[in-house]
Amino acid sequence: MAVKANITIDQGTTFSTQITLTDANNNPLNLTGYTGESQMRKWYTSNTATNFNIALANGVITLSMDANTTASITDGRYVYDVKLTDASGNVTRIVEGQVTVTPEVSM
């Protein structure tokens, strides 16, 4: 079952957030051989999505977007998730939640 986590993106700025994955002993999970993907959409059933850039290293997943990408997103609420795929092709959704995009004033 995915963990619920809400995030906020300031429109027109560079965005980055990290998710740390650990085992029962609080050691970083080995993400070697994994790939990740993450998208946000206005609704779960929307045909239009904005992709997060995703990097995996040492038990840490980094989601990011550049300022041009965040500037092109209409302010409001969205939904997102993060999925990992292991070397055998098994897919796990690890995080999901809402994204709030706050409007920019200085353009």
**Residue numbers of the domain that contains 64:** 3-102
In a domain, 58, yes or no: yes
Q: In this predicted model, what pLDDT tens digit does every residue of 3-31 receive, in sequence order? A: 999 999 999 999 999 999 988 899 999 99
Domain total of the chain: 1
Instruction: Tell whether pTM > 0.85.
Output: yes
Residue 19: phi and psi, rounded to 5, are -120, 125
Q: What is the CATH number of the domain that holds 14?
A: 2.60.40.10
Q: pLDDT tens digits, residue range 46-78?
A: 999 999 999 999 999 999 999 999 999 999 999
Phi, psi torsion values for 65, nearest 5 degrees: -145, 145
* Torsion angle defined by CA atoms of residues 85, 88, 92 and 94, in that order, rounded to the nearest 10 degrees: -60
Record the tokens describing residue 57, joined without a space. 């290293």
Tokens 């995996």 sit on residue = 56
